[in-house]
Amino acid sequence: MKWPMLLALVLVGLLAAGCKDTPREAPKDDAQARAKDEADKKANEERKKKEDEGNKKPDEGQKKADDEEKKDGEAKKQEVALVQDKEWGTIKGKITYDAKAKLPANPEVNVSTDKPFCTAKGKIYRDEWVVDPKTRGVKNVIVWLSPVSLKDHQKMDWPATLIHPKLKDVPKRLVVDQPVCEFMPRIIVLREGTDLVFKNSAKVTHNVSVEGGKLLGPQLNLTIPPEKELDIGVVKSRFVPIPYKCTIHPWMKGYLNTFKHPYFAVTNEKGEFEIKDAPPGEFRLQVWHEGYGFVQKNKDDRGIVIKIEGGKATEVKVPPLIEDTD
Ligand SMILES: [Cu+2]
């Protein structure tokens, strides 16, 4: 082979080798590019994800804040609106004795102590059930508003915003007298915060025994001399009324309870009650009589669900009561 040809062959070989090297490099570059692309893509995705999360958090926080503000606004609006009389409602009703049942007997009480004084103004009769024979209305039924929810309906707490401004002040004293060997009134209802005073305007000694339990009280048994009075102070509110009595005159007994709101009443001789200036909305009307107990579905679902409307008087239908003779 001649030198020039050999040189040419060497050159071709070198060129071929060079050409070979170039494509060999190319996949390496591609792989790097792909890896770079992949990395960029991943970084982008992550950045986007972070951005999304970043955007999402303030949005949710803002929504929550807006909701709270809305709620506050509504509460304030309600508070402001409820200052006006027309926004508050009235509930009323009539509680009767079972139409088919024989009316309860009210026998004369055996006055064993202080008879001349105690019967000077007339005989004393059993007064647990006082039913008007004409209308069958039941006297001395306690009714009061309670929260509507099953969970809270036996709790006595009550928000201040749901008390009419003109009823915010709690009366200082409630005086119960016993002039003729009977408590007057016998069924005592008052606001928690009002002092309960037992007065004795009679010429004989009376006594007051209250069985409020060890937990909430009062637990007391005290004598009240003639023409004196006994201030037993504030009685703590609870769901079931408290029995009290005079132990000198065993027929003298009654029930009492206090409430953290002014929305309670005791039925009159015709079984009627009325509660005014009550807040609008859904509540329960609790109905309790000493000889019947609660109007209820069962002990965990007591009272009647009612809806009070502002500026209106709502009539509540209460099922008739009957003496529990068991
Ligand atoms: Cu007495």
- pLDDT tens-place string over residues 203-218: 999 999 999 999 999 9
* pLDDT on residue 16: 44
**Does position 132 have pLDDT exceeding 70, yes or no?**
yes
Write down the residue that tokens 């402001």 correspond to. Answer: 80
The rounded mean pLDDT for the chain is 85
Question: For residue 249, how far is its CA from the centre of ligand 1 (angstroms)?
Answer: 4
Cβ atoms of residues 294 and 325 within 8 Å: no
Residue 177 or 59, more confident: 177
Question: For residue 107, how far is its CA from the centre of ligand 1 (angstroms)?
Answer: 19
Question: For residue 231, how far is its CA from the centre of ligand 1 (angstroms)?
Answer: 16
Question: For residue 271, how far is its CA from the centre of ligand 1 (angstroms)?
Answer: 27
- Which helix H or strand E contains 223, and what residues bound it? strand 219-224
- Which helix H or strand E contains 244, and what residues bound it? strand 242-245
**Does position 297 have pLDDT exceeding 50, yes or no?**
yes
Question: For residue 70, how far is its CA from the centre of ligand 1 (angstroms)?
Answer: 58
**Does position 115 have pLDDT exceeding 50, yes or no?**
yes
Give SS3 for 259.
strand
Question: For residue 60, how far is its CA from the centre of ligand 1 (angstroms)?
Answer: 67
Question: For residue 124, how far is its CA from the centre of ligand 1 (angstroms)?
Answer: 13
Question: For residue 223, how far is its CA from the centre of ligand 1 (angstroms)?
Answer: 9
**Does position 175 have pLDDT exceeding 60, yes or no?**
yes
Residue 70, number of CB atoms within 10 A of its CB: 10
- pLDDT tens-place string over residues 50-95: 555 444 444 555 555 566 556 555 545 555 556 677 899 999 999 9
**Does position 35 have pLDDT exceeding 80, yes or no?**
no
Question: For residue 246, how far is its CA from the centre of ligand 1 (angstroms)?
Answer: 5
Question: For residue 27, how far is its CA from the centre of ligand 1 (angstroms)?
Answer: 112
200 burial (CB, 10 Å; 0-12 / 13-18 / 19+) is: buried
